[in-house]
């Protein structure tokens, strides 16, 4: 059972309280802002494992000149959350070491904060602040390569600015938020049931993960207890989503080193998994299967069929790593060290490939999974990120078989609290939704954090010293969501 605490504090007490929690092994999982009657309410959610602990610090800042002490010196993710809150709500993080824009592009008007209730239609967009202040690298043989934000194919918009000498990457700056959709504002005033389709569309390849995190948050807010069998079947669906995405990535990584045959074979396996999804839920991307307090399945997946698929994937992986060109391109490419991964707050397979033993299925459970060791590699390179996926595919198949054989005990619900937090280990990493209900039971505020928000800053760090031709391969080894980041 999770231990949840809520502490009301004054803004000046924030750094001390945050330092205490971080020193006790917590991580900053979320920072949320919303308007109240007397000012902006800020919520800082810290989480820790063993046992599952969730601690909220809540504070209020006035509408006039809203400001809060910066935590960027204590936590790198905190600094990015603070910049996001400033760009969208106008709350200034005092003494922030990097006070440049994060979400706001140069054409956003000054003084317009789109998440405020009174923002209204956007004013005329111009160029009030000039271009983004990219760091310029100069010297003999140094030059810059701008890529995007418009890309070929179906890739979402993002701008990458490479500073290089020859083929070696000296610095990469990734500029995102070209498709900020104001999703959190779209939740406001909706009935709980009407919020679910929106949660499913946060990031299309993580429909189930975000839907489940949303449902868990609402269930905590309402005090809804979910039956053990339903929780187990939800967990099965979460693993099915992990399977088809990991298989897709294995094939894409092979394709990026010109092994197109294995890419085609992985595509064949992916199609089998998508058809299983459709048989189980009626939707290839697992939509409309989970709802508040419930799960609706048309059938159950066949463990024998999944084990057959697992053997197929293992053969594809063995062929890939047994090929000298593939192994050479993967090994030692774009290493993200354990300390850097920890300092940046990375999650999911990116963190586990760098030796960090983090997994919300164990650390923030809704089910008692018993001994559940996450797949951890220490190399931190493309090879390690490939190997973690391979191992997680095998583990997910066995976990599905266990869950179908005997539903484990669930974590009991607490009474209705009006607010709730849902934590799910999506296929990319830990997803967090925080829901706050109004007096009439509608959604007053929803804050969403996709793991890509934490993992995007790690990509430039890993690429430092790599070569430009390796960028597509490294980018795919991270496979971060633009949509999940650009909420």
Beta-strand (E) ranges in 273-355? 290-291, 294-295
Question: Could you tell me if residue 168 is inside a domain?
Answer: no
Residues 374 and 272 in one domain: yes
Q: Do 133 and 94 touch, CB atoms closer than 8 A?
A: no
Identify whether residues 202 and 89 lie together within a single domain: no
The pLDDT value given to residue 415: 61
Residue 29 neighbours by CB under 8 Å, 6+ apart: 45, 46, 47, 423, 430, 432, 449
What is the C-alpha to C-alpha distance for residues 251 and 299, in angstroms, rounded to an integer?
A: 28
Alpha carbon 416 to its chain centroid, in Å, reads: 27
The end-to-end CA distance of the chain, in Å, is 30
Cα 231 to Cα 273: distance, rounded to the nearest angstrom: 21
Are 82 and 228 part of one and the same domain?
no
Task: Name the residue among 73, 7, 76 with its Cα closest to residue 42.
Answer: 7
Please state, in angstroms and rounded to a whole number, the distance separating the CA atoms of residues 421 and 447.
10
169-172 own/partner pairs: CB under 8 Å, 24+ apart: 169/463, 169/464, 169/465, 169/466, 169/467, 169/468, 169/471, 170/137, 170/142, 170/464, 171/135, 171/137, 171/460, 171/464, 172/459, 172/460, 172/463, 172/464
pLDDT computed for residue 410 by the predictor:
65
Burial profile 111-129: b = 16 or more Cβ within 10 angstroms, e = fewer: eebbbbeeeeeeeeeeeeb
Judge whether 225 lies within some domain: yes
On whether both 196 and 344 belong to a single domain, the answer is yes
The last residue of one of the domains, among 94, 122, 140, is: 94
Distances (CA, A) of 169 to 97, 121, 194, 220, 405: 25, 41, 46, 46, 50
Q: Is residue 130 part of a domain?
A: no
The answer as to whether 102 is a domain residue is no
Cα–Cα distance, 97 to 359 (Å, whole number): 31
Question: Count of domains in the chain?
Answer: 2
Same domain, 72 and 199: no
Tell me which of 65, 94, 123 is where a domain ends: 94
Give the Cα-Cα-Cα angle 397, 54, 228 (nearest 5 degrees). 40
Residue ranges in the chain modelled with pLDDT below 70: 1, 127-128, 410-416
Domain contains 20:
yes
Instruction: Report pTM.
Output: 0.95
| Dihedral angle computed from the Cα positions of residues 92, 93, 97 and 99, in that order, rounded to the nearest 10 degrees | -30
- For residues 452 and 210, the answer to whether their CB atoms sit within 8 Å is no
Check residue 49 and give left, alpha or beta (phi > 0: left; psi -120 to 50: alpha): beta
Boundaries of domain holding 83: 3-94
**In CATH, what number is assigned to the domain containing residue 254?**
1.10.645.10
d(CA 73, CA 431): 24
Beta bridge partners of 423: 432
The span from the CA of 278 to the CA of 123, in Å, is 44
On whether both 352 and 221 belong to a single domain, the answer is yes
* Residue 212 neighbours by CB under 8 Å, 6+ apart: 234, 237, 238, 290, 422, 424
The per-residue pLDDT for 100 is 86
CB atoms within 10 A of CB 64: 6
Within a domain: residue 115?
A: no
Query: What's the token pair of residue 359?
Result: 């997994």
Predicted pLDDT of residue 301: 97
Q: What is the CATH number of the domain that holds 55?
A: 3.30.460.80
Is residue 142 within 8 Å of 135, Cβ to Cβ?
no
| Domain-embedded: residue 125 | no
Are 240 and 387 in the same domain? yes
Residue at 330 is within a domain: yes
Q: What is the pLDDT of residues 50-60, one digit of tens each?
A: 999 999 999 99
Predicted pLDDT of residue 456: 97
For 99, phi then psi, to 5°, come to -80, 25
Q: State the CB neighbour count (10 A cutoff) for residue 394.
A: 16
Residue whose token pair is 């809540």? 58
Identify the bridge partners of residue 171 per DSSP, sorted by sequence position.
Answer: 163
d(CA 83, CA 81): 5
pLDDT in tens, 450-470: 999 999 999 999 999 999 999
Residue that finishes a domain, picked among 94, 128, 147: 94
Query: Which two tokens mark 407?
Result: 């539903």
Give the three-state DSSP class for 209: helix
Distance (Å, whole) CA 29 – CA 131: 31
């Amino acid at each position: 059972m999770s231990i949840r605490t809520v502490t009301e504090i004054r803004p000046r007490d924030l750094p001390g309280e945050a330092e205490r929690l971080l020193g006790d092994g917590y991580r900053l999982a979320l920072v949320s802002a919303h308007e109240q009657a007397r000012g902006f309410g800020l919520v800082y959610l810290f989480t820790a494992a063993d046992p599952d602990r969730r601690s909220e610090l809540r504070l209020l800042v006035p509408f006039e000149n809203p400001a809060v002490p910066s935590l960027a010196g204590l936590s790198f993710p905190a600094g990015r959350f603070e910049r996001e809150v400033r760009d969208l709500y106008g709350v200034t993080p005092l003494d922030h070491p990097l006070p440049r824009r994060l979400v706001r592009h140069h054409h956003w008007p000054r003084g317009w904060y789109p998440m405020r209730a009174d923002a209204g239609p956007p004013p005329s967009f111009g160029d009030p602040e000039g271009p983004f202040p990219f760091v310029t690298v100069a010297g003999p043989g140094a030059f810059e390569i701008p890529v995007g934000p418009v890309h070929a194919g179906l890739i979402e918009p993002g701008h990458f600015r490479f500073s290089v000498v020859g083929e070696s990457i000296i610095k990469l700056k990734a500029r995102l938020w070209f498709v900020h959709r104001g999703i959190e504002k779209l939740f406001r005033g909706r009935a709980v049931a009407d919020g679910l389709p929106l949660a499913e569309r946060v990031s299309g390849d993580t429909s189930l993960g975000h839907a489940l995190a949303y449902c868990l948050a609402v269930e905590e807010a309402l005090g809804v207890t979910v039956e053990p069998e339903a929780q187990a079947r939800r967990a099965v669906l979460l693993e099915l989503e992990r399977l088809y995405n990991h298989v897709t990535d294995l094939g894409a990584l092979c394709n990026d080193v010109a092994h197109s045959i294995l890419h085609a074979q992985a595509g064949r396996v992916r199609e089998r998994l998508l058809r299983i999804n459709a048989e189980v839920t009626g939707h290839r991307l697992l939509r409309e299967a989970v709802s508040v307090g419930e799960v609706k399945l048309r059938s159950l997946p066949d463990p024998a069929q999944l084990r057959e698929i697992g053997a197929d994937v293992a053969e594809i992986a063995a062929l890939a790593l047994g090929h000298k060109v593939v192994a050479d391109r993967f090994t030692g490419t774009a290493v993200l060290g354990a300390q850097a991964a920890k300092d940046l707050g990375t999650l999911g397979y990116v963190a586990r490939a760098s030796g960090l033993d983090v997994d919300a299925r164990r650390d923030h459970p809704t089910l008692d999974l018993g001994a559940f060791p996450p797949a951890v590699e220490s190399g931190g390179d493309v090879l390690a990120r490939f190997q973690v996926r391979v191992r997680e595919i095998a583990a997910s198949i066995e976990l599905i078989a266990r869950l179908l054989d005997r539903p484990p005990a669930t974590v009991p619900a607490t009474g209705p609290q009006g607010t709730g937090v849902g934590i799910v280990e999506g296929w990319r990493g830990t997803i967090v939704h925080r829901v706050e209900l109004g007096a009439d039971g509608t959604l007053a505020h929803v804050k969403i954090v996709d793991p890509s928000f934490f993992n995007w800053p790690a990509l430039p760090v890993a690429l430092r010293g790599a070569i430009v031709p390796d960028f597509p391969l490294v980018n795919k080894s991270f496979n971060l969501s633009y949509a999940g980041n650009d909420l």
